[in-house]
Structure formats: structure tokens, C-alpha cells
């Protein structure tokens, strides 16, 4: 540890450090780094609340998590997840990369639950003359694919015994189940699934446990995929492909040394051309607002960044180019806190995505892809919008020239 502290004292002024994100932050290593480096730029995807927060640290992310949300000194980088590795190699070159890995196995360690942008960051920092430091943890599962990195790619490795942070699904609501039921009815056997994390994907996966030959090509997965595997709903001949995962301890134990699971870098999992090659690619994503042009806002609240573009646009595009593919955008029809409709006449801020196959609420399914803009607006009002919002939406649509 003394040697590590000496290395950290010789870093350039205000270095940019890329750290394993989501639920895979190496806590002990991050704490040591924070104690030894007075000023730095912390680049992390979906940072959780355990990140260090103090003067001297500035924050940077293409997907804002709860740990960085609403901080005054956070810089949001608008970028599709598939293209973020390009930025890391060209515009956001790191000086340090901090990894959370498995224990060594032969001459490799594994990035385990969080591959994502890390291979690109390792390549960029080595090309930039920086350093790679790993926290090797007995609790981190050893996973295959691009998760495997050689020990010679790491400049300094410390071992720790640190329980992984678990993520447990929130309780399923009646609205979430209703939306999941709407979506599940349109998904056929032998489809390939991309699902985010949340009550609606969880409900959908639960309802797909009795299907056959399902496949997974996604950026992230959680316990719902394990439940499909245990229900024999997945195609045993096709690997489960993802870039990161978080969930229960049971999920992490299942992932360990499991050759059914391939964890790849985000440039592969989120490449629309790769996604489009998957059989009946079915993309299911959530959003906060949809307007009558089928534009979705999944990233901002009252103009302020809440999360980010993420990978949804990569999968929407890939799914629509897949033979038999489809893209679902799911949301409750009514926002209870603001007492307002989530289907709005026109989004007045930044748009995250557009042109989905279907917009789904607890009320029904609005077909959008292939429809004229008038048919699209009418479907959104009549099938997806909350009954209390339909009159106002109809009036707005007429003023917008979308309804006669």
C-alpha cells in the first residue's frame, strides 16, 4: 500500500480517473486514491451514492447516477453509450484507470460484473502513458469474454475482501405489471431480449418464463435473466451476451466461471449493426415522457440532466433493423408526483430517442413505427394516454395539425 501511495503522489495535476461504475466501484481502492490525490476528475458511469464527494473533485459522466445527480460541479457528456469509447480515446483521455476485478486466475483477472467502457479506458490510458490499478476481490465473479484482461495490462494490483454492492428490484406495482403484460403479449418465442433495470422489465421477464428459446443480447441484466435461465426459457445453445450486470448475491454467484455468460465491451454489445443481426431483436426501454411525434425524453427533468442518453438509442436502432425486431418504449401514463400526463403534446427540452415500434402504458399499446404522423398521434392519444389527458391532448393535436 505504501508503494501505491508513492505512485499516486506522482500523478499529474488534476488527473482524469476512469473508475468501474454502476455497482462495481472498488471502494477500498477509491478511498485510498481519494485520500492521496487532492484534486482529480472522476469519470464514472451511473455512479452510486458511495462515491467520494468533496471540494477538489470534479465529476464527469455520460450517464448520471444518483451519486453525481444534482452536484454543481458535474459535467454531463451527451453521448450514446456505443460511442463513448471513441470519446475516451480521443477527447476524454484518462490519466488513471481504477478497476474492480476478480482474483487472478492463471495469468488473467476478470472485470466481472462491469466491462462496459473499461477495455477502451485501459487501452487509452496505456497509450497516454498513464497507469492502471486494480482491486482484486474474492467476491467479484470471474466472467469471460472481454472481461478477461492479462495481468501485464495492470501496473499495480491490490487484493481486498469486499462484499459486492447488491441491487434488489423494487416492489412490482399494479401499473408496472399491467405494462409488462401488454409488452409480453407481443413477444414471440425465440426472440432476443434487451431489457433495462426496473419494475417494467422485471414484470416482462417474469411473464416470459414460460416461453421457449429466448435469447439475451443486452447492455445490462439482473436477476430476471437468472429466473429465465432457471425456468428453462432461454436457448441453451446461445450465450447470454451483456456488458455489465448488477443484482443479488445469488446472481453474482451464478455468473462466476459461467461459460454461458459472455461479458463484452460496450462497442460490441451496443453496436447497432451487431444488434440488428440478432434474431427477433426486442428492445424494451423506459422513459419519462413521450410526445405526439413519438419523441421520448428519458434523460432530463425540467431541463436538468437526470441520467443520460445511455444505450437506448443504440438498441432502438438495432432492433428496428433486425428481422422481426421491435422496439418498446414503456412508461406509466400518469406522473403521480406532478399530477400530470406523461404523454405530452410536444417535449420542450432535449429528446433522448424517437421512432419506436410501440409506446406502451398500463392503458394499452400505441403503434408508432410505420404510421403516418397523424396516425401516430391518434394512437398515442387513444391507446397510451391516460383517460384524463385525452381531451387536452386531442385539442393540442388539432392545433398542431396532427388531427383533423
Q: Which of 60, 219, 229, 267 is catalytic?
A: 219
CB atoms within 10 A of CB 339: 8
Give the total residue count for the chain: 404
Nearest CA-CA partner of 335 in 370, 279, 297: 297
Give the C-alpha separation, 142 to 246, whole Å.
14
pLDDT at 120: 98
Listed residue (198, 237, 245) closest to 221, CA to CA? 245
Whether the CB-CB separation of 381 and 349 falls below 8 Å is answered with no
How confident is the model at residue 7, as a pLDDT?
A: 85
**Per-residue pLDDT at 198:** 75
Count of C-beta atoms within a 10 Å radius of residue 219: 25
According to the model, what pLDDT value does residue 78 have? Answer: 95
Give residue 201's pLDDT.
84
* Residue bearing cell 476524454: 92
State the DSSP code for 380: I
- Report how far Cα 64 is from the mean position of its chain's Cα atoms: 11
Sign of dihedral through CA atoms 348, 349, 351, 357?
negative
**Would you state the cell numbers that stand for residue 211, as one nine-digit string?**
416461453
Burial grade of 152 (CB within 10 A; 0-12, 13-18, 19 or more): exposed
Active-site annotation holds for 375: no
Task: Say how far apart CA 347 and CA 298 lie, in whole Å.
Answer: 11
Domains of the chain: 2-160 (3.40.1080.10), 174-399 (3.40.1080.20)
Q: 0.75 exceeded by the pTM?
A: yes
**β-bridge pairing 108-110 and 148-150:** antiparallel
Task: For the chain of 404 residues, list the mean pLDDT of each consecutive stretch of 10.
Answer: 81 96 96 96 97 97 96 95 96 97 97 98 96 97 98 94 90 89 95 86 89 97 94 97 96 98 98 97 95 96 91 96 96 93 94 94 97 97 97 97 92
Which phi and psi angles does 320 have, rounded to 5°?
A: -70, -20
Distance CA 233, CA 159 (A): 38
**Could you tell me the three cell numbers for 13?**
495535476
pLDDT, position 237: 95
Are 140 and 105 in contact by the 8 Å Cβ rule? The answer is: no
Predicted pLDDT at 10? 85
Amino acid at each position: 500500500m505504501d508503494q501505491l501511495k508513492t505512485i499516486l503522489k506522482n500523478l499529474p495535476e488534476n488527473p482524469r480517473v476512469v473508475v468501474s461504475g454502476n455497482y462495481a466501484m472498488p471502494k477500498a481502492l477509491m478511498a485510498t486514491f481519494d485520500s492521496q490525490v487532492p484534486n482529480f476528475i472522476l469519470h464514472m458511469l451511473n455512479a452510486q451514492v458511495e462515491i467520494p464527494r468533496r471540494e477538489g473533485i470534479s465529476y464527469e459522466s455520460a450517464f448520471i447516477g444518483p451519486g453525481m445527480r444534482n452536484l454543481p460541479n458535474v459535467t454531463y457528456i451527451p453521448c450514446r453509450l456505443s460511442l463513448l469509447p471513441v470519446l475516451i480515446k480521443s477527447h476524454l483521455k484518462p490519466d488513471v484507470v481504477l478497476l474492480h476485478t476478480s482474483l487472478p486466475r492463471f495469468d488473467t483477472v476478470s472485470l466481472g460484473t462491469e466491462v462496459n467502457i473499461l477495455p477502451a479506458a485501459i487501452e487509452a490510458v496505456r497509450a497516454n502513458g498513464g497507469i492502471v490499478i486494480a482491486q482484486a476481490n474474492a467476491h467479484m465473479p470471474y466472467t469471460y469474454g472481454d472481461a478477461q484482461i492479462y495481468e501485464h495490462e495492470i501496473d499495480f494490483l491490490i487484493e481486498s475482501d469486499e462484499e459486492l454492492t447488491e441491487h434488489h428490484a423494487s416492489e412490482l406495482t399494479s401499473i408496472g405489471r399491467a405494462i409488462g403484460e401488454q409488452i409480453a403479449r407481443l413477444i414471440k418465442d425465440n426472440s432476443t431480449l434487451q431489457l433495462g433495470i426496473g419494475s417494467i422489465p422485471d414484470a416482462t421477464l417474469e411473464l416470459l418464463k414460460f416461453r421457449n428459446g429466448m435469447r439475451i443480447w443486452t447492455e445490462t441484466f439482473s436477476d430476471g435473466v437468472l429466473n429465465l435461465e432457471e425456468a428453462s426459457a432461454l436457448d441453451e445453445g446461445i450465450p447470454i451476451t451483456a456488458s455489465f450486470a448488477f443484482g443479488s448475491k445469488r446472481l453474482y454467484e451464478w455468473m462466476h466461471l459461467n461459460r454461458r455468460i459472455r461479458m463484452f465491451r460496450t462497442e460490441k454489445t451496443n453496436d447497432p449493426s451487431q444488434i440488428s443481426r440478432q434474431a427477433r431483436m426486442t428492445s424494451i426501454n423506459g422513459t419519462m415522457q413521450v410526445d405526439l411525434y413519438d419523441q421520448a425524453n428519458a434523460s432530463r427533468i425540467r431541463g436538468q440532466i437526470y441520467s443520460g442518453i445511455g444505450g437506448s438509442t443504440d438498441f432502438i436502432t438495432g432492433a428496428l433493423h433486425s428481422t422481426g425486431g421491435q422496439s418498446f418504449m414503456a412508461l406509466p401514463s400518469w406522473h403521480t408526483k406532478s399530477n400530470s400526463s406523461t404523454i405530452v403534446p410536444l417535449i420542450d427540452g432535449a429528446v433522448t430517442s424517437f421512432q419506436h415500434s410501440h409506446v406502451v402504458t398500463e392503458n394499452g399499446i400505441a403503434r408508432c413505427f410505420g404510421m403516418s404522423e397523424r396516425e401516430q398521434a391518434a394512437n398515442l392519444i387513444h391507446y397510451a394516454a391516460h383517460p384524463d389527458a385525452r381531451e387536452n391532448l386531442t385539442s393540442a393535436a388539432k392545433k398542431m395539425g396532427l388531427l383533423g
